[in-house]
Amino acid sequence: MDGTGVPDPVPPPAAPPEKPPEQPFSPARLRRARWSVAVVFLVHGSVTGSFATRVPWIQDHAQISAGQLGLALAFPAIGASLAMPLAGRISHLLGARTALRALLALWTLSLALPALSPNLYGLCGALLVYGATSGMADVAMNALGVETEDRLGRPIMSGLHGMWSVGALLGSAAGTVAAHAATDARLHLAVAAAVTTVLGAVACRGVLDLRSTPDEHPPPRFALPPRSALVIGAIGFCAVFAEGASLDWSAVYLRDVLGTDAGLAAASTTAFSCTMAVARLAGDRVVARFGPVRTVRAGGVLATAGGVLIVLARHPAMAVAGFALVGLGIAVVVPLAFAAAGRSGPAPSQAIAGVATITYTSGLIAPSAIGSIAQATSLTGSFLLVTALACGLVAGAGVLRVRGRDTAGRDAVPAGSLERS
């Protein structure tokens, strides 16, 4: 108060210090992060490959019939579909790196559970956990892959999924050796779980440590996927349906429709898997050159041509070539769908979880749908549906161009708009 009796003016409150802008990652740090997340994808794939080779042993150990095994094998997809929407919340609370490290470890360790199951009920429970941890780790690693791709400024998602395919091949190769040596699956899968857990933990040390800002609202614990994810997921649905149908029914098609022997019939599955893996590893360069929309449209044309070859085949070589074309055509669709989902709204993990849920559902229903249609009509009729869905890739590819920047680093337009050729 001064001498006149007037109170001194109250000084205005000090403005809060401005938040320093986020420092960009150095090129060397981004390169390390890219290869680290690639190893994470490889680890995830190797767990899947390891488990697949020991399913016959697990069936014998649990003393269940083929029908009961089919029921049990539905539980991984059920668990994944239920748990994937939780991954975004976990990443928000823990940070991207910590969440990925924890979820990947849970997934790799769950590999040991199915072989320990003594009966059908135990196996269903083990596979529910196996699928739930798989799905959450899947969402976390794809979300981090999209973030890494954005900072690199060039597409990497196709190559990451290619590394997943390489991991699946490595895991299945090791499992084949273990099965051929009559190794107890409890020992084999326990060792595989330990090795992949250590490798995953080391790989996670190099991924980007991205954290939510204090003013960012956490995603809901469980939420339905946003509308953008449903539209993008429809493209993934078409691709995964064709993938599931080809993997599970290609050998049967050659045997039953074309009368080939078991060895030649198996070649169709090999051709499909190999072209798909090679196309994913090479896909980033194609996407960088032509963009995601043109790449998926071209892939849809190749997959449709492959479906036509399969349906019209009168010689085994024609059908094998058809399955190879299908694998080549659909290879990059799911990686690009995940990348588009991650850029389609303010909650990348939630959108990716939505797309992943749709694709998991497609993979779950495809084998049984093909069998049901074949029972009602013919196996050739079933692959007419696969061919029609491949055409859907051509028609719907435009949804992969979303607001912001596309996966080739160019300016993009709103989700659902078609890219002008």
pLDDT in tens, 175-195: 888 888 888 999 999 999 999
402, 142, 157: which is closest to 286 by C-alpha?
157
Q: Are 407 and 340 in contact (CB under 8 A)?
A: yes
**DSSP assignment string, 28-79:** HHHHHHHHHHHHHHHHHHHHHHHHHHTHHHHHHHHT--HHHHHHHTTHHHHH
pLDDT at 94 (0 to 100): 86
**DSSP assignment string, 143-199:** HHHHHHHHHHTS--HHHHHHHHHHHHHHHHHHHHHHHHTT--HHHHHHHHHHHHHHH
pLDDT at 345 (0 to 100): 64
Q: Which of 66-70, 126-130, 239-243, 397-401 is predicted least confidently?
A: 66-70
The answer to whether domain 27-212 has CATH 3.40.50.2300 is: no
pLDDT at 101 over 50: yes
Give the separation between CA 421 and CA 418, rounded to whole angstroms: 9
What residue spans of 313-378 are helical by DSSP H?
316-330, 333-342, 348-376
pLDDT in tens, 326-383: 999 999 999 899 888 877 766 666 777 778 878 877 877 787 788 788 888 888 998 9
Specify the CATH number for 223-402; select among 3.30.1360.120, 1.10.3430.10, 1.20.1250.20, 3.40.190.10. Answer: 1.20.1250.20
In terms of Cβ atoms closer than 10 Å to its own Cβ (0-12, 13-18, 19+), residue 190 is middle
pLDDT at 212 over 80: no
pLDDT in tens, 34-80: 999 999 999 998 998 888 888 889 988 999 887 788 788 888 888 88
Helices (H) and strands (E) in the chain, counts: 17, 0
pLDDT in tens, 273-312: 788 888 988 899 999 899 999 999 999 999 999 999 999 9
pLDDT in tens, 222-236: 555 667 678 888 999
pLDDT at 160 over 50: yes
Q: What b/e sequence results for 61-96 when a residue is b if at least 16 CB atoms lie within 10 Å of its CB, and e otherwise?
A: bbebeeebbeebbbbbbbbbbebbbbbbbbbbebbb
The three-state secondary structure class of 405 is strand
pLDDT at 330 (0 to 100): 93
Between residues 405 and 345, the one the model is more confident about: 345
Q: Are 37 and 161 in contact (CB under 8 A)?
A: no
Domain ranges of the chain: 27-212, 223-402
Both structure tokens of 76: 């991984």
DSSP secondary structure letter of residue 8:
P
- 408 Cβ partners below 8 Å, 6+ apart? 154, 155, 287, 288, 289, 290, 291, 292
Apex CA 219: angle with CA 43 and CA 23, to 5°? Answer: 70
Q: Are 260 and 316 in contact (CB under 8 A)?
A: yes
Q: Are 356 and 338 in contact (CB under 8 A)?
A: yes
Distances (CA, A) of 151 to 96, 101, 146, 210: 15, 21, 9, 12
Give the separation between CA 234 and CA 100, rounded to whole angstroms: 26
Between residues 153 and 309, the one the model is more confident about: 309
pLDDT at 418 over 90: no
Instruction: State in Å, rounded, how far the first CA of the chain is from the last one.
Output: 74
In terms of Cβ atoms closer than 10 Å to its own Cβ (0-12, 13-18, 19+), residue 248 is middle
**Percent over 70 (pLDDT), the chain:** 84
Q: Which of 167-171, 190-194, 208-212, 285-289 is predicted least confidently?
A: 208-212
- What is the distance, to the nearest Å, from the Cα of residue 195 to the centroid of all Cα atoms in its chain? 22
Q: Are 285 and 303 in contact (CB under 8 A)?
A: no
Q: What is the mean pLDDT of the chain?
A: 82
Task: Report, as an integer, the average pLDDT of 128-155.
Answer: 90
Between residues 408 and 194, the one the model is more confident about: 194
Give the separation between CA 366 and CA 245, rounded to whole angstroms: 6
Measured in degrees and rounded to the nearest 5, phi and psi for residue 405 equal -130, 140
Distances (CA, A) of 302 to 154, 205, 233, 237: 25, 39, 20, 17
pLDDT at 118 over 60: yes
